[in-house]
Every structure is written in structure tokens, then in C-alpha cells.
A = this chain, B = another copy of it.
Amino acid sequence: MDSMSAVTGTLLRDFKLRSTPNREEILHLFLLKKYALSHGDIEKEIDNSLDRVTVYRTLKTFLDKGLIHKVLDDEGSLKYALCKEACSVAEHHHDHVHFKCTKCGQTSCLNVNVPTIKLPKGYEANEVNLLIQGVCEHCN
């Protein structure tokens, strides 16, 4: 067992998930890339055998267990990113900003919190998603 699979395996068990080669590989990819991945990205990165359906199901499972969170995209497709240390099985904190670079196309989580928005009377907020599009530090 090499060090990476030790990390992914532990992480999976922490989130009450069985550790399987597929899950470790996908999780590994998320740890490797700093930006958010779409289903398509994952398929591309893992050229070798890995059923398309398995990727769908794995993403859904990770999402349900709180290992990853959704990242909105302006094209209407969804991307996913690892939850940070701030998240556990029980509690989640996703009030950070997502940034999509229009040059390189990468979407990443910024270490910037979404300010509290004052809503009109009668509205109650549970979740916020802020996507900012522009040019990132690398492409600028």
C-alpha cells in the first residue's frame, strides 16, 4: 500500500465509505487537481478502464456522504470539488467563492467567504453559491 492509497483509503473510511480501487482512483484525482472537476474531466483523466456509469454513481455517493460538493458552472453543467477540512460527515461549510477563469477554463475554490446577504422580508437562506468569472492569477 503506497502513501497515496493510504491517504485515500483513510479518507474514504472516515466518510463511512468502502475503500475500492475505483473510489481511490477518483478521490486521488480530486486530491491531485486543485480545481473542480466535471464528470467529463474525470473520464478524460482516467483513460483506462473505468465505466462511465461507475463514475456517475461514485460522484453521487461522494456527494451524498459529503466528501465533495457541487460547484456551479455557467454552462449549465455541474462540477465537483473536495470539501475542505472545515467539512465533516456531520457539518458542512461551503460559503466560499468559486472562481472560473474564462481563459484556462478552470474553476477553483477561493479562500474567500461569501458575505452575508440581506434578503427581503420573508425570505430564508439555507445555502449560497457564488460563481465569479474572470481571469485567474496564472492567466493574468
**A56 an interface residue at 8 Å Cβ cutoff?**
no
Which residue in B77, B99, B121, B135 is a CB contact (below 8 Å) of A137?
A: B121
Which residues in chain A, 59-94, are within 8 Å of chain B measured between CB atoms? 70, 72-78
- A7-15, A18-26, A40-48, A109-117: which lies at the interface: A109-117
Note all chain B residues with C-beta closer than 8 A to A99. Answer: 119, 123
Which residue of chain B lies nearest to A39 when distances are taken between CB atoms in the complex?
B76
Which residue in B77, B112, B125 is a CB contact (below 8 Å) of A76?
A: B77
**A29 an interface residue at 8 Å Cβ cutoff?**
no
A29 to B35, CA, bound (A): 38
**A50 an interface residue at 8 Å Cβ cutoff?**
no
A contact residues, range: 35 or more
Copies held by the complex: 2
A135 to B124, CA, bound (A): 5
Residues A117 and B137 in contact, CB atoms below 8 Å apart: no
**A54 an interface residue at 8 Å Cβ cutoff?**
no
A122 to B131, CA, bound (A): 17
19 contacts between A and B (CB under 8 A): A70-B74, A72-B76, A72-B131, A73-B76, A76-B76, A112-B118, A112-B119, A112-B120, A115-B117, A117-B132, A119-B134, A122-B138, A122-B140, A123-B137, A125-B132, A125-B134, A126-B134, A129-B131, A129-B133
